[in-house]
A = this chain, B = another copy of it.
């Protein structure tokens, strides 16, 4: 346990969060505020805030004039980034949800490749209908995003013989730049989307990009709905040319009358990628470690890079 010279004020969104994060270093004062209910005394002294899922970023930050660190529990930071001043460190929840999110992407991809929704229907009808399906052997997978989510997706699919190509914002060894996407899409049997939503990725997978994919390709999105042009995806999947697994949609939640629901080649889950029972345990472990680093004056992890 590190001790600190001055009192550090940490604001967390619930009493259960406070209890789960404990123990914190000596000299760290914990306040509980969800960003919506009346703020407790001393909230204006907050140095480090754990942003829950409830408060609006602008209202919350207005109450925290001395905040130095905003820690999110999500991998995505698009909702917060525009509101966090340049001199405040924004940290995301990378690693909290990444593996579970990748796990859901692999679940959805495998379900489509191995026709699980069809067999669920056959089971309901008590029918033993044998039919050869595809498998991942020799499938070419384009992973958009070379962070932890993309890495876990790749490692799991490789076990079954798929070959992986990474695309990310910054080209580096083994990773292509996003502007190479038009050259890479025609060779992709599977496009797995695991990048943050930002100005560069919003609408990136539009009608032109989808048109580059070969017939029968699978688009899997566990990142953010607006990365894909929904109307273009509806057109390409309802025609039967492409298939899709979507844990995120645009709009979200998907309205009951949206055409995506009924497309035979589309499997939808309701944004549950990272929302598994284990996530809070992982989240509070990360936050405790971040508070210890902050109290000790060490470098934080998961710092969101500004453009």
Contact = CB atoms under 8 A, between A and B. Distances in A.
A139 to B, nearest CB: 10
A138 to B, nearest CB: 7
A217 to B, nearest CB: 16
A111 B116 contact: yes
Contacts of A134: 276-278
A114 B110 CA distance: 12
A182 interface: no
B277 A135 contact: yes
Interface string A136-161: 11100000000000001001100111
Contacts of A262: 126
Contact of A272 (B132, B160, B267, B270): B132
A215 to B, nearest CB: 15
A116 B104 CA distance: 9
B107 A114 contact: yes
A126 B122 CA distance: 20
A254 B131 CA distance: 15
A190 to B, nearest CB: 14
A130 B270 contact: yes
Number of copies: 2
Contacts of A277: 132-135
A133 B99 contact: no
Contact of A270 (B100, B110, B119, B160): B119
Given A253-B128, A271-B130, A110 B120 contact: no
Given A106-B160, A119-B268, A130-B270, 14 more contacts: A99-B135, A103-B110, A103-B113, A103-B135, A103-B136, A107-B107, A110-B110, A111-B111, A116-B116, A116-B117, A119-B270, A119-B272, A123-B261, A159-B159
Interface of A: 99-100, 102-104, 106-108, 110-111, 113-114, 116-117, 119-120, 122-124, 126-138, 152, 155-156, 159-161, 252-254, 256-258, 261-262, 267-272, 275-279, 282
